[in-house]
Copies of this chain bind each other. A is one copy, B any other.
Amino acid sequence: MAEIEQKLSAMGLELPDPIMLPPGVKLGIRWVRVLGDRAFVSGHAPLAQDGSLAYPLGRVGVEVTQDEAYNAARLAALAMLASLKSALGDLDRIMAWLRVFGMVNTGGQFNAYPLVINGFTDLIVEVFGPERGQHARSAVGMAGLPFNIPILIEAEVLIRSSP
């Protein structure tokens, strides 16, 4: 088994099924846009195992607690890895995480956005190690996210060109 998938497996983590959009939503985008040695990754939501949007929905600090939001950011990382595996064939082709933009659905007084997006970063750094996994990042509060998801995360990664 490939190195990164072995690591995920050893951590007891499973990648979700491909993204299922809410009924009636059609998007002409790509979840991962690969070109040369770069993969640009669309904003990913936290997903349930079957690829549907994970619960709870809502604003962090209002309908969603900080701990739930940290876990949602972990789920967004797993959703992104599932999309990357589908686009790249093999997660071992990911040489470096470059840039991560972590967006938190906000509404009240809560503003510890970096502690929420750590759910994403902690998982990626554990799976890929600090040299490949550590990235530049912003973690910010949004007035709204699609379909009231609590978290949305986009990224850019360096990849090994296909053999």
Contacts and interface: CB of A to CB of B under 8 A. Distances in A.
Interface of A: 25-33, 35, 38, 40-43, 96-101, 103-104, 106-107, 110-115, 118, 121-122, 125, 130, 133-148, 152, 154, 156, 158
B41 A136 contact: yes
Given A27-B118, A142-B142, A145-B141, A98 B136 contact: no
A125 to B, nearest CB: 5
A115 B23 CA distance: 12
Contacts of A111: 144-148
25 contacts: A25-B114, A27-B118, A28-B121, A28-B133, A29-B121, A29-B135, A30-B136, A33-B99, A33-B135, A33-B136, A35-B98, A40-B99, A43-B138, A43-B139, A110-B144, A111-B145, A111-B146, A111-B148, A138-B152, A140-B144, A141-B142, A141-B143, A141-B144, A142-B143, A143-B143
B40 A121 contact: no
Contacts of A106: 143-144
Q: What 5 pairs across the A-B complex have the smallest Cβ distances?
A: A141-B144, A43-B138, A40-B136, A143-B143, A33-B136
Contacts of A156: 40, 99
A89 to B, nearest CB: 18
Q: Which of A101, A121, A144 has the most chain B CB atoms inside 10 A of its CB?
A: A144
A132 to B, nearest CB: 11
B140 A103 contact: yes
Contacts of A96: 33, 35
